[in-house]
Structure formats: structure tokens, C-alpha cells
Amino acid sequence: MLDGISTEVLIRESIYTIILFIWVLIVVIPLTKFSYNMMIKRGTTHIKAVYYNRKIIHILAGGLVSIMIPLLGYTTPITIIPMLVLLFLATYIPHKTGRLLYWFQDPDNINEVNFVIMWGVVMIASWAVFRDWVYGVVPVAFMSFGDGITGIVRNALYNRRNKSWFGNLAMAVVAVPVGQIILGLPGAFAGLVASIVEHFEIHSKIDDNITVPLVSFLIILGFRLIGA
């Protein structure tokens, strides 16, 4: 038993985490590698294919896994931490060694590493502060589904990574209703602000994968503190 958590629960949630980790690996390696090859065969430029794949990973790995955490009834973040460490290393080491996973990594953009870090920070903070995963799932949903749609729209319009208000509008169409349905007015407001914040990068190392979940989580936390 660990901090009041039974061995049975730890084993069960460890098994869940292994399954989720395998799912992430399936998305990141064979699935997006296949989609990259298909896009290249159809004439899509390399960088466009890379950024489409990054958004596929956002949605199918980051977004879906965050939803599964409360659905599977996780009672602790303890068993999730090893998965996050492995994913951090799996995305960070290729940048340091120069042996990139070319079908979704860009040598000039390490933001997928920030995605892994912030996914963990927000989800674990949600559990630590509220003892409820939903307050982490919503900011992660903005980062995964909202920003994912944003990137897909921009990628379809341009042949390079850039910021466009068309993408932010698409994000708001996703984020505001999702926030409203799950958390009411605080969630809708957080979704709207996150959709605006996504447009700006404060610094080359402080990208939307950091600002979107962090700002939206702090907004939700603020509403909770004032009892809204």
C-alpha cells in the first residue's frame, strides 16, 4: 500500500497506463509514419506532412489519453509519471542527438517536448489541487483538440508554420463549446481566452503548448477560488 492506495489499485492503474502508453506508441510510430508516407506520395511537402502529423498526435495521443484517465477511474497520478518520463525522453533525445523522428519532428521546433511536459503538469496539478481530473482534461483538450484543429486549418492554408486568426477562430469553435459543456461559464471563458492566447508566442521557447494549458488552467482555478 502506498499513501493509502492499495496494491490492487496500483496494479490495475499500472496496467491501464501500459495500455495507454502502447496506444501512444502506435499513434506516434506506425500510424503517423504511415500517414507521412501517404501524404508525401500525394505530393504534400515534407514540412506540411510533419505538421499534420503533429496535430494528429495532439488529438489521438494527447487528447484521447487525457480523456481516458478519468474514464478509467484513475485514483492517483503515480502510475502516469513513468509514462510521461519515457515520452519526454523519447521526444527530447532525438533533438539532442540529431536523429529526429522525421515524420513528425522539426529540427527548428521542439514544441512537442513542451506538449508532453505541460500535459503532465496540468493533469497532475488538477489532481493535486482539486482531486478531480476534469480540471486538467479541459486545458489539455484545448491544447490537444483545439490547437490540433487550429494547426490543421493553418496547414491547409499555408505551406509553412505560421500564426493565423483563421486557425484561432477554428480553435474557438472547438474550445468554447467544450469548455461550456464540461465546466460551464468558467470553461467557456477559458476556452475563449486560450483560443486568443494560442496566436501569440512570448518567446521562442514559450510556445502555445505552454501558454494554452497554463493560462486556461489558471483561469479555471481562479473561478474556483471565487466560488464560480
Domain boundaries, the chain: 7-225
pLDDT, mean of residues 133-154: 89
Q: Is 72 helix (H, G, I), strand (E, B) or coil?
A: coil
Question: What tens digit of pLDDT does each residue of 38-64 get?
Answer: 999 999 999 999 999 999 999 999 999
Helices (H) and strands (E) counted in the chain, each on its own, are 11, 0
Position 206 scores a pLDDT of 73
Question: What tens digit of pLDDT does each residue of 75-100 get?
Answer: 999 999 999 999 999 999 999 999 99
Question: What tens digit of pLDDT does each residue of 8-29 get?
Answer: 999 999 999 999 999 999 999 9
pLDDT, mean of residues 209-214: 93
- Local confidence band at 161 (pLDDT 50, 70, 90 cut-offs): low
What residues does 203 pair with on adjacent strands?
Answer: 206
Mean pLDDT of the chain: 91
For the question of whether the overall pTM of this predicted structure is more than 0.85, the answer is: yes
Q: How many CB atoms lie within 10 A of CB 34?
A: 12
